[in-house]
Amino acid sequence: MKLAGKLVAITGASSGIGKAAALAFAREGARLALCARSEGALREVAEIAKALGAPSAIWRACDVTRDEDVRAFAAACGPQVDVLVANAGVGQYGEFLDTPMEDVERVLETNLTGVLRCAHAFGPALVAAQGHVLVVGSQAGKTPVPLSSVYAASKWALTGWTRSARPELESRGVALTLFSPGGVDTAFRERRLAAPGTGGDARARVPGSQSVDRVVAALVDAARRRPREVDPSLVGAVGRAANALAPHAAARAMLKARARRR
């Protein structure tokens, strides 16, 4: 599918994958609607996007954990939306028993309910355009990730939701892609919610992590082709295979490796 002239709405467009995606869709000539909580950063992304070729780029400050914000963002996008990139997310690090319940709730409200809330609010506009929802999941939604169990729970839930809701949406003409990166070089780990006394060297590079440009090229390709699932990381494929063969041993090995990198 050609992206020029299509309306692409992106959540979490103020930094990282969402920002790079906005600029990549702009180069394709797509019209953009951007949201996140940081107004200044969003305004800047919208200006750069227009300079790169987006015919229009609206932006709204929006917290995906708030119904009224999401509904207002969807209303600002108009009656037809071609692509919704449900990307906004927050990381979590530390042992589950040391993680405050307010962090547990924030991770689930942002990464899981936030995505469902957006898909729900944009539903009529996506049906009207026979559009496409691109959910940014994670390899943490396909393999166990000790020391990020709440984050993993949010992303596994997205895997379950997309696989279950897809036939429903497809029967109304809306495509649904689960896009699940492995590690990506963004500020994500520096911004994650860390349990008290943990967090360690969040700037240390995750082995095998990919550049944001490479990941976003795969995301834009998914917007053109509308595949059901995309797993852009080779390291992720190894993790999925190890988990399928020996899930408990794989999880224990992962705990040791992650504890060393703390």
Ligand X SMILES: NC(=O)c1ccc[n+]([C@@H]2O[C@H](COP(=O)([O-])OP(=O)(O)OC[C@H]3O[C@@H](n4cnc5c(N)ncnc54)[C@H](OP(=O)(O)O)[C@@H]3O)[C@@H](O)[C@H]2O)c1
Where along the sequence are the contacts to ligand X (CB under 6 A)?
11-18, 36-38, 41, 62-65, 87-90, 110, 136, 138, 181, 183-184, 186-188, 191
In terms of Cβ atoms closer than 10 Å to its own Cβ (0-12, 13-18, 19+), residue 136 is buried
Shortest approach of ligand X to residue 173 CB, angstroms?
26
114-129 and 67-77 helices, crossing angle to 10°: 20
151 is catalytic: yes
Shortest approach of ligand X to residue 195 CB, angstroms?
18
> Can you say whether residue 83 is alpha, beta or left, with left for phi > 0 and alpha for psi between -120 and 50 degrees?
beta
Shortest approach of ligand X to residue 249 CB, angstroms?
23
**Whole-angstrom distance, CA of residue 122 vs CA of residue 80:** 9
What DSSP designation does 194 have? E
Q: Which is nearer to ligand X, 18 or 123 (CB)?
A: 18
Q: Which is nearer to ligand X, 50 or 191 (CB)?
A: 191
Shortest approach of ligand X to residue 128 CB, angstroms?
24
Shortest approach of ligand X to residue 226 CB, angstroms?
19
Shortest approach of ligand X to residue 192 CB, angstroms?
8
Q: Which is nearer to ligand X, 38 or 130 (CB)?
A: 38
**Whole-angstrom distance, CA of residue 180 vs CA of residue 59:** 25
Q: Which amino acid is at 134?
A: L
User: Active-site residue among 59, 151, 156, 161?
Assistant: 151
For residue 128, CA distances in Å to 17, 69, 172, 174, 261 come to 27, 22, 9, 9, 47
Chain centroid offset of residue 78 CA? 22
For residue 137, CA distances in Å to 77, 170, 208 come to 23, 19, 18
| SS3 call for 229 | strand
Q: Which amino acid is at 9?
A: A
| SS3 call for 217 | helix
List, by residue number, the catalytic residues: 151
